[in-house]
Amino acid sequence: AQSVTQLGSHVSVSEGALVLLRCNYSSSVPPYLFWYVQYPNQGLQLLLKYTSAATLVKGINGFEAEFKKSETSFHLTKPSAHMSDAAEYFCAVSLRDDKIIFGKGTRLHILP
């Protein structure tokens, strides 16, 4: 069965610093991997998606993620944090069937 583990329920970074949110997955077959963002009291918005076409995936708002099969990881990064990046981020995995499995989320805090 597939699963997703997000390391750190809360991450704090200074404005302008590197953002790194960690995600490890477990899957018996090559998965699709996703990062979603959720602002307070809103739904989830797709940031980016890995579908095996390229290991480095670029998303919206300057985020990107790299698929590393050997490490079963799909970490999310952004070179320079902005105050508007403060939100909760969810990593998710799909086996290309009818369900997506979500991690428990990481809340990103941006320090001025």
* Beta carbon of residue 80, minimum distance to other proteins (angstroms, whole number): 27
Q: How far apart are CA 29 and CA 88, in angstroms?
A: 28
Establish if 7 lies at the interface with other proteins (CB under 8 A). no
CB of 66 closer than 8 Å to CB of 74: yes
Q: How far apart are CA 38 and CA 86, in angstroms?
A: 9
Q: Which residues contact 84 (CB under 8 A, 6 or more apart)?
A: 61
* Beta carbon of residue 110, minimum distance to other proteins (angstroms, whole number): 20
Establish if 96 lies at the interface with other proteins (CB under 8 A). yes
Q: Which is nearer to other proteins, 14 or 42 (CB)?
A: 42
CB of 58 closer than 8 Å to CB of 81: no
Establish if 109 lies at the interface with other proteins (CB under 8 A). no
Establish if 105 lies at the interface with other proteins (CB under 8 A). yes
Interface contacts to other proteins, rule CB under 8 A: 9, 32, 34, 36, 41-46, 49, 90, 94, 96, 98-100, 102-105
